[in-house]
């Protein structure tokens, strides 16, 4: 049985669809565990032949019945998929996958998205395109913090604070560490960047101070 990293385990735990497509499955670990431990029907999908072959070899070894699809994004997603997981790519790439696959995305029940960067752009895109972020959490792995978003259709009020730092975020110890890490990063930059070039930093520090004051610890 494969032992998943904290990040992959958190993604696995939030997958609750009946038929799940793991977009950009790469190693195939989450797909495998979803099939073996949650009994889900899974499509393991990747745009590149190499990763998909790696996943296929793993599934064969484990005798797991998982369909592997070589495809770009979600345009050609099978109709029975009700949930997609997209993790380990940048937010901009996720936006282009959702934009190109608008029609398919409109039929999904939910999406689990975990961008490695540009999370604020992804949040803005989702809310401007009639999705709502139902819950979020932050996972720390090494020196990186990864957001995980559980997304459904619906309306949500945009907020600059939430675009940057999360909607319905689970405010646990990892999130606290993330906020403190961001705060220290922008504070250090403040000392080394001329004030005229620190507009983004000023905005971020104000938002982070709001979060830190609210939590009052």
Ligand X SMILES: C[S@@+](CC[C@H](N)C(=O)[O-])C[C@H]1O[C@@H](n2cnc3c(N)ncnc32)[C@H](O)[C@@H]1O
Binding footprint of ligand X on the chain (CB under 6 A): 23-24, 26, 45-48, 51, 72-73, 87-89, 93, 97
Nearer to ligand X, 110 or 156 (CB): 110
CA nearest neighbour of 106 among 155, 153, 157, 72: 153
Pick from 13, 21, 17, 75: which is nearest to 43 by CA?
21
φ and ψ at residue 113, rounded to 5 degrees: -125, 130
Q: Minimal CA–CA distance to 186: which of 206, 201, 164?
A: 201
* Shortest distance, position 50 Cβ to ligand X, whole Å: 8
Terminal CA-to-CA distance of the chain, rounded, Å? Answer: 40
Minimum CB distance to ligand X smaller for 84 or for 208: 84
Our CB check for ligand X shows the closer of 45 and 208 to be 45
CB of 197 to ligand X, least distance (A): 32
Nearer to ligand X, 47 or 160 (CB): 47
Nearest approach in angstroms of CB 150 to ligand X is 15
| Shorter beta-carbon distance to ligand X: residue 77 or 208 | 77
Smallest separation (angstroms) from ligand X to the CB of 74? 8
CB atoms within 10 A of CB 188: 11
Could you tell me the smallest distance in angstroms from the CB atom of residue 178 to ligand X?
18
Other C-beta atoms closer than 10 Å to the C-beta of 41 total: 18
């Amino acid at each position: 049985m494969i032992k998943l990293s904290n990040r992959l385990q958190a993604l696995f735990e939030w997958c609750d669809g009946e038929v799940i497509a793991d977009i950009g499955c790469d190693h195939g670990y989450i797909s495998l565990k979803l099939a073996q431990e949650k009994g889900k029907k899974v499509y393991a999908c990747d745009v590149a032949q190499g990763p998909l072959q790696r996943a296929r070899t793993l599934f064969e070894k484990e005798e797991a019945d998982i369909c592997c699809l070589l495809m770009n994004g979600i345009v050609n997603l099978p109709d029975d998929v009700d949930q997609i997981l997209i993790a380990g790519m940048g937010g901009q790439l996720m936006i282009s996958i959702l934009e190109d696959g608008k029609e398919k995305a409109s039929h999904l029940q939910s999406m689990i998205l975990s961008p490695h960067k540009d999370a604020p752009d992804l949040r803005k895109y989702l809310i401007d395109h009639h999705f709502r972020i139902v819950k979020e959490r932050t996972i720390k792995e090494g020196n990186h913090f990864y957001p995980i978003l559980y997304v459904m259709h619906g309306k949500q009020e945009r907020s600059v604070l939430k675009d940057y730092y999360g909607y319905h975020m689970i405010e646990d110890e990892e999130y606290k560490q993330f906020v403190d890490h961001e705060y220290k990063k922008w504070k250090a930059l403040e000392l080394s960047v001329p004030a005229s070039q620190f507009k983004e930093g000023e905005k971020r520090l104000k938002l982070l101070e709001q979060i830190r004051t609210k939590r009052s610890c």
